[in-house]
Chains A and B, each alone.
Chain A
Amino acid sequence: MAAVDQYISLWNEHHALVDSNAPEALNSLRGAAAEVLAHNGFPALNEEIYRHSDFEKILSPDYGINIGRVRINVNPAESFRCDVPMLSTSLFLVVNDSFAETSGCRDMLPAGVEIASLAAFARSNPDFVKRYYGSVADISNPIVALNTLFCQDGVVIHVKKGIKVEPTLQIVNIFNNNTPLLAARRVLIVMDEDSEAKVLFCDHTQSPDVDFCSVQVVEIVAAEGSRLDFYDLEESSKRTSRLSSLWLRQLAGSEVLLDSMTLYNGTTRNEFFTRFAGSHARLRMLGMGIEDESRRLDTYSRISHDCPDCSSDELFKYVVDGDAVGSFAGLIYVAEGAVKTEAYQSNRNLVGSDTAKMHSKPQLEIYNDDVKCSHGTAIGQLDENQLFYMMTRGISGEEAKLMLKQAFMSDVIDGVSLPPLRDRLKLMIERRFAGEQTACASCPLPCQN
């Protein structure tokens, strides 16, 4: 039996239950999602953009989906403390597949900012959710289809016209359960004209011996003149799989930073589909992956320049060690009318062992002459001369390697616009490379990554 069949039969047998526990806006697209999955199945490894993510293997276990919305008796909300707090953050939690209300966090936010449970918001503002839900993500994408089929909750962030949100909005996704679980979380971010916000998502797994699978979709609309910094930090466990598909539509004059950081994980596929739907918009994309043991990280990005005078700048860096496998495939597409496009892409990687693997495929597809574009990739090892130089100053080989790996990530870290977050990340990455059990130090419920 193909892995997709269990999801289709679950849907066929229980669609009434799924629907009854979710708002209409979310239910309305399930039929289309089911059709896509029944027709296409999950992508095979010989499909070009899925070569390094084995959907069949990731999705064949029967994780269990909490479609009945049985309340799982965990309350990490009270004891959870994230180690990335900045000057001021507003912290919100998504436990397994449900938005968990936390007290007090909204008080810091100015009027004109909504951050809420997607399910609750779809009931109170059905027209808003109907308008945006599924409007950016393509339902024929397998992750989007599977997420849409079972999604019952998630997070919605709406920043209204001209509103600038000072504190960083932090959303922590937590897996905590005694039995395996698949969570179909959905994030919807709508930035109205000239609004500004910074958002940080952190993925954690608190039950290291349990298998989890996150199938998540993020949809972002950045309206004219809006500015969004979107950080996504994964610190899950070796037994956590993550299939994440992010969809961004940028209108004229908007500026977006997408920063994807994988410090600890099991098997991860992160997809980014971005599109310029207005001129003079800018996108900066940063990513880092630190992979060791048998962890896997597969990144796919497609940046579509459909409008003139837009710029994109993409930098992804990996350090792969042990038996880890990393892969990066990035396509920059420049349409015929998208003149004066500036698009840069770079993927650089360090391979630290004989058994680690790194795949890299930078791609440019350009259909007009008036552009400035570049792409490049490099896969290499630590520089022997640098190592020797450091050792002649008394620094041990091990420490020198650690410092060089950290230094390798420095330009990705420097791209973080918030100084406190940047400093925090430096420390977390230092601890990560030093092989310390967890990158977070102050949480009373530390993950075992």
Chain B
Amino acid sequence: MLSVKDLHAEIDGKEILRGVNLEVKPGEVHAIMGPNGSGKSTLSMVLAGNPAYSVTSGEVVFMGKDLLEMSPDVRSHEGLFLGFQYPVEIPGVSMVNFMRAAVNAKRKYFGEPPMGATDFLKLMREKRAVVELDNKLASRSVNEGFSGGEKKRNEIFQMAVLEPKLSILDETDSGLDVDALRIVAEGVNKLRTPENSAIVITHYQRLLDYIKPDVIHVLYKGRIVYTGGPELALEIEEKGYDWIKADVDSQDEIKGEA
């Protein structure tokens, strides 16, 4: 589904990703963990196509196509979804109009006519239920005045509507209390199918109690330095990142000497 090879990317001339390799197969859930500043959010932004970041080398193939060639909207149509760590507020654009534009843009891409009003409202109602999102938010501006929990639920609601093949959830757990975390995680689980995949970026083990990953990666200094099974998360929770950092830093030193 997704194949990332030796991906290098920078922002404002500063290299953040230094050779990321990642393979995600249909149906898999991958967790990416790592200390602050290791490049986790940068990876999600680069995969979603944020123009502020530039890819300097490497390749990304998504569903057999060159992802890096596509604009962010086309990536969305092709089935990529990014759940933002900090969902953006858009004053003056109502949730309803925002979602209608999103749904109809996708339909247009696949040569279908715009969705009728009744079907659209039904779709909204159905998908709101997935994350118990309040109906009253529909008439409000996108994310404006939403609580932290509502913003994150709103991200999963959008994911439910757009039905992506691959969802990247960037610290969807940050800023959530236990109940909100459960609702968001359950929402993600309800949307799981044997075909679609997810990359869950998180600092903490607790989200992974709800969303069971198949593979866990540790990103450090812009590279994936460790890959393991679900038990790796527990080890990190217990011991922190220092042992991984020490390991990687010492290997770097050896390379430097060689």
- Which residues of A are interface residues toward B (Cβ below 8 A)? 384-386, 388-397, 399, 403-404, 406-411
Chain A residues positioned under 8 Å from B76 (CB to CB): 391-394
Known interface pairs A384-B52, A403-B93; A393-B88 also in contact (CB < 8 Å): no
Contact of B101 among A384, A386, A389, A403 (CB under 8 A): A403
Closest to B87 in A: A389
**In the bound complex, what is the Cα–Cα distance between A392 and B169 (angstroms)?**
13
In the bound complex, do residue A406 and residue B98 qualify as a contact, i.e. CB atoms below 8 Å apart? no
In the bound complex, do residue B102 and residue A394 qualify as a contact, i.e. CB atoms below 8 Å apart? yes
In the bound complex, do residue B88 and residue A385 qualify as a contact, i.e. CB atoms below 8 Å apart? yes
In the bound complex, do residue B162 and residue A394 qualify as a contact, i.e. CB atoms below 8 Å apart? yes
Closest to B102 in A: A393
Chain A residues positioned under 8 Å from B162 (CB to CB): 393-394
Closest to A408 in B: B92
**In the bound complex, what is the Cα–Cα distance between A403 and B71 (angstroms)?**
18
In the bound complex, do residue B93 and residue A388 qualify as a contact, i.e. CB atoms below 8 Å apart? no
Chain B residues positioned under 8 Å from A407 (CB to CB): 90-93, 141
Instruction: Taking A389-B84, A394-B102 as given, write out 18 further A-B residue pairs in contact, using a Cβ cutoff of 8 Å, ordered by the A residue number.
Output: A384-B52, A385-B88, A386-B90, A389-B87, A390-B90, A391-B49, A392-B49, A393-B73, A393-B76, A393-B105, A394-B76, A394-B109, A395-B101, A395-B102, A397-B71, A397-B73, A403-B93, A404-B90
**In the bound complex, what is the Cα–Cα distance between A353 and B51 (angstroms)?**
18
In the bound complex, do residue A392 and residue B90 qualify as a contact, i.e. CB atoms below 8 Å apart? no
In the bound complex, do residue A399 and residue B50 qualify as a contact, i.e. CB atoms below 8 Å apart? no
**In the bound complex, what is the Cα–Cα distance between A406 and B101 (angstroms)?**
14
Closest to B161 in A: A393
**In the bound complex, what is the Cα–Cα distance between A409 and B87 (angstroms)?**
22
Closest to B77 in A: A394
**In the bound complex, what is the Cα–Cα distance between A410 and B50 (angstroms)?**
27
Chain A residues positioned under 8 Å from B93 (CB to CB): 403-404, 406-407
**In the bound complex, what is the Cα–Cα distance between A33 and B92 (angstroms)?**
46
In the bound complex, do residue B105 and residue A396 qualify as a contact, i.e. CB atoms below 8 Å apart? yes
The minimal Cβ–Cβ distance linking A350 to chain B, given in whole angstroms, is: 12
Q: Which of A388, A397, A409, A410 has the most CB of B within 10 A?
A: A388
The minimal Cβ–Cβ distance linking A391 to chain B, given in whole angstroms, is: 4
Chain B positions 195 through 213: 1 when the CB is less than 8 Å from some CB of chain A, otherwise 0: 0000000000000000000
In the bound complex, do residue A396 and residue B73 qualify as a contact, i.e. CB atoms below 8 Å apart? yes
**In the bound complex, what is the Cα–Cα distance between A63 and B52 (angstroms)?**
52
Known interface pairs A386-B90, A397-B71, A399-B101; A392-B109 also in contact (CB < 8 Å): no
Chain B positions 57 through 96: 1 when the CB is less than 8 Å from some CB of chain A, otherwise 0: 0000000000000011101110001101001101111000
The minimal Cβ–Cβ distance linking A327 to chain B, given in whole angstroms, is: 24
Closest to A413 in B: B92
**In the bound complex, what is the Cα–Cα distance between A47 and B240 (angstroms)?**
69
Chain A residues positioned under 8 Å from B48 (CB to CB): 388, 392
Chain A residues positioned under 8 Å from B73 (CB to CB): 391-397
**In the bound complex, what is the Cα–Cα distance between A392 and B91 (angstroms)?**
18
Known interface pairs A389-B84, A392-B72, A394-B73; A399-B105 also in contact (CB < 8 Å): yes
Chain B residues touching A, range: 20 to 34
B42 located at the interface, meaning its Cβ lies under 8 Å from any Cβ of chain A in the complex: no
Between-chain CB contacts (< 8 Å), 13 pairs:
A389-B84, A390-B90, A392-B72, A393-B73, A394-B105, A395-B101, A396-B71, A397-B71, A397-B73, A403-B101, A404-B90, A404-B92, A409-B92
**In the bound complex, what is the Cα–Cα distance between A399 and B72 (angstroms)?**
13
Chain A residues positioned under 8 Å from B102 (CB to CB): 390, 393-395
Number of CB contacts from chain A to chain B under 8 A? 81
**In the bound complex, what is the Cα–Cα distance between A407 and B144 (angstroms)?**
13
The minimal Cβ–Cβ distance linking B78 to chain A, given in whole angstroms, is: 10
Give chain B interface residues in 124-157, CB to chain A under 8 Å: 141
Closest to A398 in B: B73
The minimal Cβ–Cβ distance linking A121 to chain B, given in whole angstroms, is: 43
For the complex of A and B, list the 6 residue pairs with the smallest distance between their C-beta atoms, beginning with the closest: A407-B92, A410-B92, A391-B72, A394-B76, A389-B88, A393-B102
Closest to B159 in A: A393
Known interface pairs A392-B72, A393-B98, A395-B105; A386-B52 also in contact (CB < 8 Å): no
The minimal Cβ–Cβ distance linking A336 to chain B, given in whole angstroms, is: 39
The minimal Cβ–Cβ distance linking A293 to chain B, given in whole angstroms, is: 25
**In the bound complex, what is the Cα–Cα distance between A409 and B73 (angstroms)?**
25
**In the bound complex, what is the Cα–Cα distance between A408 and B101 (angstroms)?**
17
Chain B residues positioned under 8 Å from A408 (CB to CB): 92
The minimal Cβ–Cβ distance linking A389 to chain B, given in whole angstroms, is: 4
Chain B residues positioned under 8 Å from A411 (CB to CB): 92
In the bound complex, do residue B98 and residue A388 qualify as a contact, i.e. CB atoms below 8 Å apart? no
In the bound complex, do residue A388 and residue B50 qualify as a contact, i.e. CB atoms below 8 Å apart? yes
B189 located at the interface, meaning its Cβ lies under 8 Å from any Cβ of chain A in the complex: no
Closest to B82 in A: A392
Chain B residues positioned under 8 Å from A385 (CB to CB): 88
Q: Which of A389, A394, A404 has the most CB of B within 10 A?
A: A394
The minimal Cβ–Cβ distance linking B24 to chain A, given in whole angstroms, is: 18
Chain A residues positioned under 8 Å from B77 (CB to CB): 394
Chain A residues positioned under 8 Å from B84 (CB to CB): 389, 392
The minimal Cβ–Cβ distance linking A434 to chain B, given in whole angstroms, is: 13
The minimal Cβ–Cβ distance linking B169 to chain A, given in whole angstroms, is: 13
Closest to B75 in A: A392
Give chain B interface residues in 21-63, CB to chain A under 8 Å: 48-52
Closest to A405 in B: B92
B193 located at the interface, meaning its Cβ lies under 8 Å from any Cβ of chain A in the complex: no
B158 located at the interface, meaning its Cβ lies under 8 Å from any Cβ of chain A in the complex: yes
**In the bound complex, what is the Cα–Cα distance between A391 and B88 (angstroms)?**
12
Closest to A394 in B: B76
Chain A residues positioned under 8 Å from B90 (CB to CB): 386, 389-390, 404, 407
Q: Which of B51, B52, B93, B106 has the most CB of A within 10 A?
A: B93
**In the bound complex, what is the Cα–Cα distance between A406 and B97 (angstroms)?**
12
The minimal Cβ–Cβ distance linking A396 to chain B, given in whole angstroms, is: 5
**In the bound complex, what is the Cα–Cα distance between A408 and B93 (angstroms)?**
9
The minimal Cβ–Cβ distance linking B86 to chain A, given in whole angstroms, is: 9
